[in-house]
A and B are shown apart, each in its own frame.
Chain A
């Protein structure tokens, strides 16, 4: 039972354009959501997060949008850069604490120069 789903295994975008990565979840108890970026042979690196009391959080080129009614969140990267090429994981937690994260299967983003 996959509680966090990333239905696009890969995405290719031109440098300078917007990258939109999507994530859906099924558990209505989730109240905190995070995005991680992972390069090969490295551990995941925290990117940005959002609490369920908000619908948007922005950090530089990265913005996360949360639609609770649709149980959907998305990560926007603009403008995309070749160094953004990596696997992006969506993760969620419940109960106000992030000590147990449920991850999606990841989306491989390739930014073409």
Chain B
């Protein structure tokens, strides 16, 4: 596709439930990133993939969060036992390689609301 696609655009879930957020990067982009943006804050790094492997997952807040990219393209961010504090916009981005002087291309995000 022409841009980074994220689905769903909005997700409302009950506390304690499991959710999956999907990201389709730009075709050919080997690097993929997940960020989280809470209200009034800037995006906060979660995890970075180079190809299929997670090259840096230091931003994942705890073991309830997990992300995969099995074929080096689509990625899924998985959140177990959701809490109200997980409510945020989850942003995915991709770039041609890991060292992009032109920054990444972000998707429009998935707004997650935990009630």
Contact = CB atoms under 8 A, between A and B. Distances in A.
Interface of A: 4, 6, 32, 34, 36, 41-46, 49, 51, 89, 91, 96-106
Interface stretch (B14-22, B35-43, B63-71, B77-85): B35-43
A100 B58 CA distance: 10
A4 to B, nearest CB: 8
Given A43-B91, A99-B31, A100-B48, A105 B98 contact: no
B56 A98 contact: no
B43 A96 contact: no
Contact of B98 (A89, A97, A102, A104): A97
Contact of B42 (A42, A43, A103): A103
A110 to B, nearest CB: 17
Contacts of B45: 100-102
Interface residues of B, number: 31
Contacts of A6: 42
A99 B102 contact: no
A21 to B, nearest CB: 13
A95 to B, nearest CB: 10
Interface string B31-59: 10101000011111100101000011011
Given A43-B4, A89-B42, A105-B40, A98 B103 contact: yes
Contacts of A34: 103
B7 interface: no
A71 B40 CA distance: 23
20 contacts: A6-B42, A41-B108, A43-B91, A43-B108, A44-B43, A96-B99, A97-B98, A97-B99, A98-B95, A98-B99, A99-B50, A99-B99, A100-B48, A100-B59, A101-B104, A103-B35, A103-B43, A103-B44, A104-B42, A105-B41
